[in-house]
Structure 1
């Protein structure tokens, strides 16, 4: 595939460059040839006209040919390297610069005589008997002032012009060959500079297609290919992130299914065992209420688990809409402390409030705010015995800062990063008496984020844990 790319690009660039050079040089060569030929002919015509007028000046006082006129014409013939003829008004040649005088007595064309009679100059290619070469000829009037005796003809061979055109064409041909060679070299270089980066891109794309997102394309050029490589690298980075997120989500999904199965299996197994014992009549009448109570508690645990899962799914799918309004946090915290006081007392734990000064109203959903506090206090009571739980609140513009501290077992540094995950339990290796779904803190984090707040945790093993929650105030939202 790589070779095919290289070969195709090379052929395209080579043939296109060579065709362009060949076509351009051919067009230019033809134009130069024709323009040069026209230029040489025009120059020759102008030169011959000037010479013919000079000859007229020299012979304008001579009306009849004599030996002196012939010598004068011979002198101009040798000086100008041209053949010179004189003809009268009837078109008959009366004198020439040739010694043999072969054309004396012959006539020129009547149209030429007519133009000369009008005082006009004439330029043409003429062929005369006895001359093998094509001659460029000019005709000017012969006379003085208003007296016209006839015409003067000067003609010169065009062999020099043909040789010049031939040499020019040969030069253009060699230039064309050199241009073709140069275009081949340039095409090879351009093909290499294009195909090499494309080969790198092709190799990288093959690895990326196989799932290797660590591959990067190293191209330093700033042209379109360099931009393409940069775009592909950026795309690979995003694909790598998406792939990692996908693997993470798949891992979370598997953990979720495993944890849900475990959390459901445990109460179901207990309920099944107790129901089978009751059905088989293995339980005394006096003990039945206790077994019914256990079964009832297990159903409550399963119901809480299902409710928590539904809440978390709705939060993550943005299906829960808050009904936010001004909330008196001091009153809310007092009610929550009073509600959980009996449960804390059973564990010889004291709950105290620490409200710092008057608090502004929080802009929150009162029911969801109560759910946040309930989950945090339940965790504190669960892991605190013979200790103290402190519920604090203070105004830290633009938030109300809630703190919930306990003197319980604490959370290790490694676990502090995991407590927000679904089904994660700090006491998973300690005691089974503290039942829970492991979804409480995950729900708390989602609800706090939904309130546009933030939450943090501070903890030390065997010294206790503090959760800090910041909730926006009404004044902040109104601004």
Structure 2
């Protein structure tokens, strides 16, 4: 059995671990892709800003105090030095245009195949008006291995604008910065930069992969530990259910967990197990009680009738034996009737015939007839019923059933010598109240909360009073079916008080005889 439990728990843990690892991997992949995209965007934004700063410094470098542009001899070295200072990656093309659109200086970028070449783009038009006044020594493009004398990104001179222009063309960016002298634009610096160079974060790939792997390992470890902690109580609940299925209700799961949901699961499981154990105990008591209660009258009836049949007793005693047998059959009939009523309530098939009833008159009649049966006892019945008509909306037979049951309970509590007080009064604008008070020994405090449970009988009542423990249960169901209720008000060694509430007949209401099926 321990091996089976361990295997099942490992299977559950392995299943959830695989699911969470897959989810974690997908999440980390999405985070990685998003991080790379964001880092590329940040790198592009930052480097474009640096290119602008570099181009503005270059524009100042090629201007003189006289208000014209001059390409210094060290311009190429200056570009290389300031490129490193601004941390500009790779190589770029730089072209210096004068106000007339002549190229005064051109530094080419390494030629790389891009998307345009793969799409079959047409070659750029022939170069335009390359500045003849610029010595070839100041034009490094004439000595490049590529043999190009102008930047393909600028086949035509850019417009003379007083603002910085940045646009994206195919696989590269074009940055155009004006050269100003005394608030006048006398030329432009045009830079072409491959987009791949501006968004290159290859040096950070290793860091990103390392962080993702570390996050994945840490996340998997945390998930594994959490799953072990969470699946342990769930596994215990599963094993406990198996024990309950086998009929073992005496178990208690440990509730020392911090997770609120798991804690609630364990708490309510323990409550359910305790309730099931209680119901199982009630079922066992019911079977024992029904067996005992049915066997006793049947045994008595069989013995008495056999004595009469065999003429063991005289005729006068035979009549007495038959009367006793008749009373026992009535008791059997009452127990069967209680069971049938209760089962009818549970299945929703019992019918309540609602009509206007004078509660005061009905109450007086029921108590009078009931007292005739026990007129030989030393019972004192005290009535407090006002003369004013009290009309309720209920079933006459069901009200009588409730009242007789309460009277029987009071008599059982006080024996044949005591007092029962019954009063009728107005409880609220919608209900009348009938109180039953006796001076019996009362109900123990530990049993008061359970007296309306089905099949429940107090410890003091079991050996002294025959019954199935359904009287109060059925009485409360009947009261609630008539829009009322039955409540235990108080109970002490000095006596017990029950309260029956019944619904009033609304004023100005046309009373119609109704038959309701209680659900």
| TM-score, structure 2 normalization | 0.60
Aligned pair in 2 of structure 1 residues 177, 472: CA closer, same or farther (>3 Å)? same
Which residue of structure 1 lines up, in the alignment, with residue 477 of structure 2?
446
**CA deviation string 1:299-335 (max 9, x = no partner):** 1111111111211222233322322222111101111
C-alpha displacement at 1:337, in angstroms?
Answer: 2.3
Which residue of structure 2 lines up, in the alignment, with residue 250 of structure 1?
280
The whole-number CA distance in structure 2 between the counterparts of 1:13 and 1:418 is 52
Aligned pair in 2 of structure 1 residues 55, 18: CA closer, same or farther (>3 Å)? same
The answer as to whether partners of 1:259 and 1:423 remain within 8 angstroms in 2 is no
Is the aligned partner of 1:270 residue 2:300?
yes
RMSD after superposition: 4.3
Which residue of structure 2 lines up, in the alignment, with residue 261 of structure 1?
291
The whole-number CA distance in structure 1 between the counterparts of 2:199 and 2:402 is 95
The whole-number CA distance in structure 2 between the counterparts of 1:352 and 1:20 is 84
Which residue of structure 2 lines up, in the alignment, with residue 299 of structure 1?
329
Aligned pair in 2 of structure 1 residues 202, 380: CA closer, same or farther (>3 Å)? closer
Q: Write the mapping of 1:436-475 to structure 2, written as runs, cut at 5 A.
A: 436=467, 438-454=469-485, 455-461=487-493, 463-475=494-506
Task: Write 1 or 2 for the structure with the bigger share of helix.
Answer: 1
Which residue of structure 2 lines up, in the alignment, with residue 77 of structure 1?
136
The whole-number CA distance in structure 2 between the counterparts of 1:358 and 1:378 is 27
C-alpha displacement at 1:264, in angstroms?
Answer: 0.2
Is the aligned partner of 1:49 residue 2:95?
no
| TM-score, structure 1 normalization | 0.64
C-alpha displacement at 1:380, in angstroms?
Answer: 2.7
The answer as to whether partners of 2:443 and 2:492 remain within 8 angstroms in 1 is yes
Q: Write the mapping of 1:18-167 to structure 2, written as runs, cut at 5 A.
A: 21=32, 42-43=93-94, 49-51=103-105, 56-58=131-133, 76-81=135-140, 83=142, 133-138=145-150
Aligned pair in 2 of structure 1 residues 476, 79: CA closer, same or farther (>3 Å)? farther
Aligned pair in 2 of structure 1 residues 200, 280: CA closer, same or farther (>3 Å)? same
The whole-number CA distance in structure 1 between the counterparts of 2:367 and 2:321 is 32
C-alpha displacement at 1:464, in angstroms?
Answer: 3.3
The answer as to whether partners of 1:14 and 1:187 remain within 8 angstroms in 2 is yes
C-alpha displacement at 1:280, in angstroms?
Answer: 4.4
Q: Secondary structure at the match of 2:351?
A: coil
Aligned pair in 2 of structure 1 residues 350, 3: CA closer, same or farther (>3 Å)? closer
Decide which moves more: 172-181 or 3-12: 3-12
Aligned pair in 2 of structure 1 residues 44, 136: CA closer, same or farther (>3 Å)? farther
The equivalent position to 1:411 in structure 2, one of 437, 443, 448, is 443
**Which runs of no fewer than 5 residues in structure 2 stay unpaired?**
1-9, 52-87, 107-127, 152-192, 241-251, 510-519
**CA deviation string 1:89-126 (max 9, x = no partner):** xxxxxxxxxxxxxxxxxxxxxxxxxxxxxxxxxxxxx9
Aligned pair in 2 of structure 1 residues 322, 241: CA closer, same or farther (>3 Å)? farther
**CA deviation string 1:249-289 (max 9, x = no partner):** 33322222211111001111222223343454433444322
Q: Secondary structure at the match of 1:303?
A: helix
How many residue pairs align between the two structures?
A: 374
The whole-number CA distance in structure 2 between the counterparts of 1:394 and 1:24 is 79
C-alpha displacement at 1:408, in angstroms?
Answer: 3.7
Decide which moves more: 172-181 or 394-403: 172-181
Aligned pair in 2 of structure 1 residues 452, 27: CA closer, same or farther (>3 Å)? closer
The answer as to whether partners of 1:200 and 1:217 remain within 8 angstroms in 2 is no
C-alpha displacement at 1:352, in angstroms?
Answer: 3.0
